[in-house]
Amino acid sequence: MYSEESTEKMKKSLSGTSGHVPQDPSIDVSRAPIEELLSPDVFAELREDLKQDWLSMTRDQYRLQLVRIWSPGHPLHPERQMLKLDSMLQKNRSMLPCIQKGMEYLFCNKATAFYWTQSAQNRRDCGPLILGSIWNTWFGALDREPQVELDEFFAVPISVERNGPETITDLLRSHECLCAKVQGMLEEKRAEAGATPTRTHVWLDPRYFKLHPICEALIAVFDEYTVVAAEKHPDGFRHYDDVAQKQTILLVRTGNEDRLSTPISFDSLRHEAMPLARNDDMGATDIIRVPLQVGVRFVANLLCREEVAFPEIGLGGSTISNEPDHPATKWEREALDWAEEELAHEQERGAFSPFSSAATVRKAMQLHRPEEYPPGHFAPFPFRLGWI
């Protein structure tokens, strides 16, 4: 997910010094083990501080990547990377849904799929607004931080192109086909474990290992964008909640619920239901239109329900997160290794003296993140409470 260049920039931004700390001339600080120069408590505190700084910087990089993935493509903005759903004409004259080759892995570790139709792309610059609205609602409903090391999120966003499926029925067929392709690739990936890799390095990324049952059973369709004249609140920000409450999505059951603990029911949403506002014949399809915020919370509750029923499907479940080769375990180990490397590097540069306090070393190392990565509620756009 992150290039070596961006990782180096993170390291450099965290490793500056604000001044030379006087050294004890009787001790060669650059050669003495850090554990002998600092007390165990100070060493542990500094290592944890650096680890958290590394995680914060990496999460910010992930957030910026999400902005690109959640922005519908535009000729003037080639950096936008949302998946595009087209229809490919086969030799037998049938139409086969297709997305960018080799990008199916993005379906993994997502609760559902978010199909962004042409009718909702009248404002192609609204991706960050929709993403910010979903982000705040999603993690507010789950009441936990995202597992960015697993690329875990509410949905994989997919732009339905002009020659793609037009009706809900066609979308359901396309989704079934795409999920079957992802499952097939996951089976091939498991079969190739330990063998010579034959696929791209991205698909072999160990983070992408699970197609969630809810993703096969339910889709979200964003088919109309409502312009929101969001006003600033007393805190000086426009809030994403104002956007999330006024946009609407369709939630559609696919009928493929065999792997769920119990069937999906929209009964709890009936009082929030709005007119479908569609002309296509959907037959017996179970579908409902609700505010974006309501729909995202509904999917979050489904996810929590399934993780309670089947703890082993949880991405951070105890059954997998303690495995030494699990991506979450590697992520934690990489952060700690980097923290120790930074301490050793700063020791060589003379950033601290023997028996320094944690506060003295932090000041010398300038552990505070630079201004472009401000802490807390001033997190980078679009993941703070709102935008100015």
Residue spans of the domains in the chain: they are: 4-55+327-387, 78-313
DSSP string, 171-189: HHHHHHHHHHHHHHHHHHH
In this predicted structure, the answer to whether residue 367 has a pLDDT above a threshold of 50 is no
Take residue 385 and report the two structure tokens written for it: 């409470």
What pLDDT shows up at residue 154? 94
> What is the distance between the alpha carbons of residues 380 and 377, in angstroms, rounded to a whole number?
9
> What is the distance between the alpha carbons of residues 36 and 60, in angstroms, rounded to a whole number?
34
In this predicted structure, the answer to whether residue 321 has a pLDDT above a threshold of 70 is no
Q: Identify whether the C-beta of residue 116 lies closer than 8 Å to the C-beta of residue 157.
A: yes
In this predicted structure, the answer to whether residue 28 has a pLDDT above a threshold of 70 is no
What pLDDT shows up at residue 180? 92
> What is the distance between the alpha carbons of residues 313 and 303, in angstroms, rounded to a whole number?
10
Q: Identify whether the C-beta of residue 61 lies closer than 8 Å to the C-beta of residue 53.
A: no
In this predicted structure, the answer to whether residue 339 has a pLDDT above a threshold of 70 is yes
Take residue 83 and report the two structure tokens written for it: 């998946």
In this predicted structure, the answer to whether residue 295 has a pLDDT above a threshold of 70 is yes
In this predicted structure, the answer to whether residue 18 has a pLDDT above a threshold of 60 is no
**Of the listed ranges 89-103, 171-185, 279-293, 307-321, the one predicted with least confidence:** 307-321
Of 202, 109, 103, 105, nearest to 147 by C-alpha is 109
> What is the distance between the alpha carbons of residues 134 and 240, in angstroms, rounded to a whole number?
8
> What predicted TM-score, i.e. pTM, was given to this entire model?
0.78
In this predicted structure, the answer to whether residue 117 has a pLDDT above a threshold of 90 is yes
> What is the distance between the alpha carbons of residues 359 and 45, in angstroms, rounded to a whole number?
10
Residue in the structure block whose two tokens are 């966003």: 157
Note the pLDDT tens digit of each residue in 345-358: 777 776 666 767 77
DSSP 84: E
Of 385, 365, 383, nearest to 373 by C-alpha is 383
Distances (CA, A) of 107 to 5, 273, 329: 27, 27, 22
Note the pLDDT tens digit of each residue in 32-78: 566 667 777 887 888 888 888 887 778 777 888 888 889 887 666 66
Confidence of residue 221 (pLDDT cuts 50, 70, 90): very high
User: 262-271: string of b/e by CB count within 10 Å (b at 16+)?
Assistant: eebebeebee
